[in-house]
Structure 1
Amino acid sequence: MMKEISVIGVPMDLGQLRRGVDMGPSAIRYAGMSERLEGLGFTIYDEGDIKVEIKERADNGAETRLKNLEAVTKGNVRLSEKVEEVVRLNRFPLVLGGDHSIAIGTLAGIAKHNKNLGVIWFDAHGDLNTADTSPSGNIHGMSLAVSLGIGDSSLTNIGGFAPKIKPENVVIIGARSLDPGERKLIREKGIRVYTMHEIDRLGMTRVMEETITYLKERTDSVHLSLDLDGLDPDDAPGVGTPVVGGISYRESHLAMEILSEAEIVTSAEFVEINPILDERNKTAEVAVALMSSLFGDKLL
């Protein structure tokens, strides 16, 4: 793994309705992220936060049915440019959210330099909705579909090309809340998904080993997109769309430890931490602990 990490905060709360997720990057920094990673021997470059329009000034998306489309697009354009710059410097991009709509910009920036990019989508949700299938019009539930080239052109064409990733290069882990349109798209595109049923039945070790083997065979590098609502709400309460019956704290650590040993992850983002809904910054501290495991922290 690259020894230089560029941290990029994205205080985006426009991709969904609940306030507070824009404070996620600050909460993660406050939880001691830089100190923890520096202690593992990494050099940290904190690039600060991407400028994001405040909700009170953003469009409401009434004309398109996609809420805050223009502001979400602008924020992700800025993010994609910053991520691309970091990749050119041969540093590891570590993006802090913000809601999961920021994956649109992260993947756009990374895919500029990785034509056969693999993605591990660690999430309770598929984020594969479109304007036609979304029950809410919230863009954070569309970010994976957009990155596959499916959705509004202002989002899919960020960076000047689409799609950013191929469906056969995606693995979703931890899904337990999928809308009908998402299930249809998963079947049509042949996207590999490990729901909580598979995790319970196979165990996290086998799920991760299968994921790593699958992606190693077909991709050049791998991006980890980790939504904290992939964890069970008992372990990560500070998220906007919690779903009971999720991945445990220990299973999540094991997943990160196995990824660290495999040395395939070349970029990552941790998203959907909402301090307003949290308990004494517990979810941000969980995020930092998982980052630490991903970057090689071991007990012995």
Structure 2
Amino acid sequence: MMKKKLSIIGMPMDLGQMRRGVDMGPSAIRYAGINERLKPFFDEIHDLGDIAIGRPEVIVDQESKLRNLDLVAEKNALLAEKVDEAVQAGWFPLVLGGDHSIAIGTIAGVAKHYKNLGVIWYDAHGDLNTAETSPSGNIHGMPLAVSLGIGHSKLTEIGGYTPKIKPENVVIIGARSLDEGERILIKEKGIKVYTMHEIDRMGMAKVMEETIAYLKERTDGVHLSLDLDGLDPSECPGVGTPVIGGISFRESHLAMEMLEESKIITSAEFVEVNPILDEKNKTASIAVGLMASLFGEKLL
């Protein structure tokens, strides 16, 4: 893992969904002490601040029925440029969300630097919807599909190339809420998924061992896209789309610790922290704790 220089990029975007508050996620994570917690693991930490999003009105694209299509595309293009610059300069890009639609920009900025970028999608949801399969038209349910080159061209072609990743280089961990169209796509593309059923039966250690071995075989870098709703809402209440029966706090720390030991992670984002729905910034604090484990913090 490239751990000498860390570049933190805030993406306070809530345009990919309907519930306000997730735009304050980057601020909540900073308030939870991200710089101080990660300082021991880097020679330099450069916080680039937040990409300006503004307070636009919700606009539904009349043709596709997608919410805020043009603005989500525009802001993700800006994020892709920032991430691209960070990777080019030799910094590890860590993006703070914001709703999960920001993964469109993060992956667009990262993937051009790898022939076979792997992605770990740590999430209760598959985020594999399209305009045709989405029940809501919310783009935060589409970023993995978009990164695979499936979806509206304004989103899939961000960064000037598509697709960004291959389905055989993706591992979804923690899924427990999949729409019918997503289930079909997972089977069609052969995407590797560890649902809560597998985590319960196999244990997180085995899931991570298999994930790491699988991605090491076929990728030259791995992006971690961690949605805090992957964890159980009893532990992470400050998320926009909570789903009961999720991954535990301790299982998640184990997953991050094993990823650190594997040295495969080359970029990361932590998304969907919504402090309005939170309890005393608990979810942001857990996010920072997971980041610390990912970068090398040990109990002993």
TM-score (norm 2): 0.98
Aligned match of 2:47: 46
Is the contact between residue 13 and residue 55 of structure 1 (CA under 8 Å) also seen in structure 2? Answer: no
CA-to-aligned-CA distance 1:61-113 (integer Å, 9 cap, x gap): 34421100000000000000000000001110000000000000000000111
Is the contact between residue 23 and residue 97 of structure 2 (CA under 8 Å) also seen in structure 1? Answer: yes
Aligned match of 2:225: 225
In structure 2, give the amino acid aligned to 1:15.
Answer: G
Is the contact between residue 11 and residue 24 of structure 1 (CA under 8 Å) also seen in structure 2? Answer: yes
In structure 1, give the amino acid aligned to 2:167.
Answer: P
Aligned match of 1:241: 241
Aligned match of 1:278: 278
Q: Output the aligned Cα RMSD.
A: 0.9
Provide the C-alpha distance between the structure 2 equivalents of 1:32 and 1:200, rounded to a whole number of angstroms.
Answer: 32
Cα deviation, residue 285, structure 1: 0.1
Aligned match of 1:136: 136
In structure 1, give the amino acid aligned to 2:269.
Answer: E
In structure 2, give the amino acid aligned to 1:224.
Answer: L
Aligned match of 1:197: 197
**Secondary structure of the structure 2 residue equivalent to 1:29:** helix
**Secondary structure of the structure 1 residue equivalent to 2:218:** coil
Provide the C-alpha distance between the structure 2 equivalents of 1:7 and 1:80, rounded to a whole number of angstroms.
Answer: 13
Is the contact between residue 21 and residue 274 of structure 2 (CA under 8 Å) also seen in structure 1? Answer: yes
Aligned match of 2:253: 253
**Secondary structure of the structure 1 residue equivalent to 2:199:** helix
Aligned match of 2:152: 152
Aligned match of 1:178: 178
Provide the C-alpha distance between the structure 2 equivalents of 1:9 and 1:24, rounded to a whole number of angstroms.
Answer: 9
Is the contact between residue 5 and residue 94 of structure 1 (CA under 8 Å) also seen in structure 2? Answer: yes
Is the contact between residue 104 and residue 146 of structure 1 (CA under 8 Å) also seen in structure 2? Answer: yes
Provide the C-alpha distance between the structure 1 equivalents of 2:85 and 2:74, rounded to a whole number of angstroms.
Answer: 17
Is the contact between residue 6 and residue 42 of structure 2 (CA under 8 Å) also seen in structure 1? Answer: no
In structure 1, give the amino acid aligned to 2:7.
Answer: S
In structure 2, give the amino acid aligned to 1:235.
Answer: E
Cα deviation, residue 42, structure 1: 4.2
Aligned match of 2:87: 87
Alignment gaps of 5+ in structure 2? none
TM-score (norm 1): 0.98
Aligned match of 1:16: 17
Aligned match of 1:96: 96
Cα deviation, residue 249, structure 1: 0.2
Question: Structure 1 pair 296/162, CA: closer, same or farther in 2 (3 Å)?
Answer: same
Is the contact between residue 5 and residue 42 of structure 2 (CA under 8 Å) also seen in structure 1? Answer: no
Aligned match of 2:215: 215
In structure 1, give the amino acid aligned to 2:52.
Answer: K
Provide the C-alpha distance between the structure 2 equivalents of 1:248 and 1:12, rounded to a whole number of angstroms.
Answer: 26
User: Structure 2 matches for 1:56-135, cutoff 5 A?
Assistant: 56=57, 58-135=58-135
Provide the C-alpha distance between the structure 2 equivalents of 1:34 and 1:75, rounded to a whole number of angstroms.
Answer: 25
In structure 1, give the amino acid aligned to 2:151.
Answer: G
1:164 aligns with 2:164: yes
In structure 1, give the amino acid aligned to 2:118.
Answer: G
**Secondary structure of the structure 2 residue equivalent to 1:124:** coil
Provide the C-alpha distance between the structure 2 equivalents of 1:40 and 1:10, rounded to a whole number of angstroms.
Answer: 23
Cα deviation, residue 32, structure 1: 0.1
Alignment gaps of 5+ in structure 1? none
Is the contact between residue 239 and residue 274 of structure 2 (CA under 8 Å) also seen in structure 1? Answer: yes
Is the contact between residue 119 and residue 224 of structure 1 (CA under 8 Å) also seen in structure 2? Answer: yes
Cα deviation, residue 214, structure 1: 0.2
Aligned match of 1:31: 32
Provide the C-alpha distance between the structure 2 equivalents of 1:50 and 1:146, rounded to a whole number of angstroms.
Answer: 21
Provide the C-alpha distance between the structure 1 equivalents of 2:112 and 2:185, rounded to a whole number of angstroms.
Answer: 25
CA-to-aligned-CA distance 1:246-282 (integer Å, 9 cap, x gap): 0000000000000000010000000000000000100
Q: Report the identity percentage.
A: 74
In structure 2, give the amino acid aligned to 1:55.
Answer: P
CA-to-aligned-CA distance 1:201-237 (integer Å, 9 cap, x gap): 0000000000000000000000000000000001100
Cα deviation, residue 50, structure 1: 1.1
Cα deviation, residue 53, structure 1: 3.8
Is the contact between residue 131 and residue 137 of structure 1 (CA under 8 Å) also seen in structure 2? Answer: yes
Is the contact between residue 8 and residue 95 of structure 1 (CA under 8 Å) also seen in structure 2? Answer: yes
In structure 1, give the amino acid aligned to 2:23.
Answer: D
